[in-house]
Amino acid sequence: MTTPIRLPSNLPFPVTIAKLCVSTGDSVKKDQRLFVYKYWELQDVITAPNEEASKKKRRVDLIGTFDSPIEGQIVALNVSLGDEFVNDNDVIAEVCQPCSHDVTYGALCVVCGKAVDEDDQDMPHNGFSNSKLTMAHNNTNIKVSERQAASIEKTAQKQLRELKKLVLVVDLDQTVIHCGVDPTIKEWANDPSNPNYDALKNVKSFSLDEDPILPPFYMGPRPPARKCQYYVKLRPGLQEFFEKVAPRFELHIYTMATRAYALEIAKIIDPTGELFGDRILSRDENGSLTHKSLERLFPMDQSMVVIIDDRGDVWSWCPNLIKVVPYDFFVGVGDINSNFLPRQQNSMLHMGRRHRKKAEEEELLTDIMDTEKKLQEKIDQEVKKQEEKFNKITEEHQPERPISKEDLAKKLEHNASLEVQQQNRPLAELQKHMHNQKLLIDDDDELPHLSDILLKVHTAYYEKLAAGDEAPDIKTLMPAMKAKVLKGCYFVFSGLIPLGTNVRQADIALWTSMFGAVTSGDVNEHTTHIVTKTPGTFKARLAKAYNPNIKVVHPDWIFECLVKWERVNEQAYELITEQEVTQEELEEFKGKLEQKRLAEKAISEREKQATSDEVTLLAGNDIWLDNDDDEMDEFLNENDDDDENEDNGDEEDEDKGEERKAEDVTSTNVPQYSREASLETESMDRKRSLSSEDDNSNKRQHPATETADDVPSQDRDTEDDDDLEAELLLELEG
């Protein structure tokens, strides 16, 4: 196989070939020298030992070498002495490799058996790098090159299209099942008199050995593995869900639980193995303890892949994701494998929909949040205690390969969470507040809607494929479908997102933004909905007084829209505000809103002016340099009195706090253009210093050497102008 060789992009271009070390037809080893090149750079002129670098520079000629990135025979050498290259576009040589090492197992090529450097970053071939990728679900020792990965995926996609299927990546915990280790579950399931007995009839169970975490250099007897009993509740309608989607989707499991746990769950939800087979990826093979990535399974092309998961943050809200409402059957337990994931905000929104009486629901949700908080505090205490033990032992015996603090903390937290749940029995604690009423209610209806959505996506994909020449892409298809649902909706959340949280980065804001909605921390002229559980909040009352057309709705309305992918009628979810704001409060709000509008208008005008100055500067027009320094200072330091006025006041109300944060964020945008102008100008100066000629060829003869003293006076004047320009740009940055 012939592989083209190009110069790496990080070379100090332009470079000139000074010496050839090989010829066409020669056999070369990896890292064998091919040629020597010359290049030059500008260095500061320093005349005294303690003198600071002056603004004058001189040209210094240097040399470098280029070695073969691969082994093989040179079939073409496209360079000659004196050739100059100004970028990495040209193919400088072609090498015929005896083996491309496209597939390796444990650092050995599976074709030729030679050892392959795991860190080998071979030159790209036809747009592909030979750096090794892991694609297998259950074996991280098998690695393939990008070229081989693309070939594998192309074949797989062809087979999928022949079967008219897409790929569905399925998360486990709180997506299709809910799992707990609270011993109370077993006791209730065996007690017909318990009010939760009927809800636990279909709960499955299994046990796993939880290995103890031992410190480095532990020489004592190994403690026995601790048996842990898991109780699993399938999400209602799971079997029907798989029956509907399996004919149209190839199913994969992707979980942040251990492989042993994933295999046990797979036995429960897919006892015959027909649905998932061996397509199971756990955190043991993932490569990351905190995030998931489609590139782990499909490194080259994710255009036919759909994800269902209750967590959007672990996927970085990628466009392939369908986020589902978390399945929270064992209330107060949460996701037992979430210790390895980023910690979620403790808000009522992450619990999703609940079909209970209002007073009962509010009381229960408060109890659940308090229980989760207490459990987390106990887990943190246990983790801290264990970390102190480990740190003491590690200080006395430093291991050769110490485990990272983050990994250790995650593993300790996971073990501690299981122990704390078993010992503190959160379900029993919550049941005390329910008396003889049911705590566990199995009324979730997510999966029927989810299956309908998946079938719509499947239909849209294959209709588009049949209609056009280009294959559709899920990364663009699904966002386009979702963006129509809440288009034109401007949300303000009241009493739902904890104070101090960046509203626009809250999970619910990111989730709804995928469906076309815009979230703000404050009521404004664009607001269409106030989302709250309690219509008596100041934001809700203010919004209704300011604009009677603004709808005050319960969060269930949003979840209903997100679950069904359609804008549900708000009427059944609208709340009545209990008390209007005073006329004085309304007028004060309108005044601040007008101040904010004027401030934003002023900022917009300054941004336009800054952009105009940037364009003029980058176009090479130096007329603006003739302006007085006072005028430039006046432009840069113009005060925004409106912004400052809006920051006055000491209200601790959530609405006021969010408004001030939004203004602070907006006001930081002004100097950004100045920084960009500085960077662009620096880049232009660099380019001007490299060459005064405008030559379009990538390969050219080396220009005549000249020193700084040979520069004409006109060029020195230009340098002085550049110095003045740099000083002004420093003021811009300031």
Q: What angle do CA 455, 456, 460 make, to 5 degrees?
A: 115
**How many C-beta atoms surround the C-beta of residue 146 within 10 A?**
21
Q: Are strands 177-180 and 226-234 parallel, antiparallel or unpaired?
A: antiparallel
From residue 487, give the alpha-carbon distance in Å to each of 354, 572, 574: 26, 20, 19
From residue 55, give the alpha-carbon distance in Å to each of 85, 609, 618, 705, 708: 29, 30, 22, 21, 12
CA distance 453 to 323: 12
Q: Which amino acid is at 206?
A: F
- β-partners of residue 142 are 105
Q: Which amino acid is at 70?
A: I
> Taking Cα atoms as reference points, which of 308, 301, 353, 283 lies closest to residue 146?
301
Q: What angle do CA 706, 709, 714 make, to 5 degrees?
A: 95
Alpha carbon dihedral 375, 379, 385, 391, in 10-degree steps, equals -160
Query: Is residue 647 a contact partner of residue 663, using CB atoms and an 8 Å limit?
Result: yes
- β-partners of residue 260 are none
Determine the angle formed by the axes of helices 538-546 and 654-667, rounding to 10 degrees: 70
298 burial level (CB within 10 Å; 0-12, 13-18, 19+): buried
In this structure, what DSSP letter does residue 486 have? Answer: T
CA distance 334 to 337: 9
Query: Is residue 382 a contact partner of residue 414, using CB atoms and an 8 Å limit?
Result: no
CB neighbours of 11 closer than 8 A, spacing ≥ 6? 37, 39, 64, 88
Catalytic site positions:
171, 173
Whether residue 8 has a cis bond before it, omega within 30° of 0: no
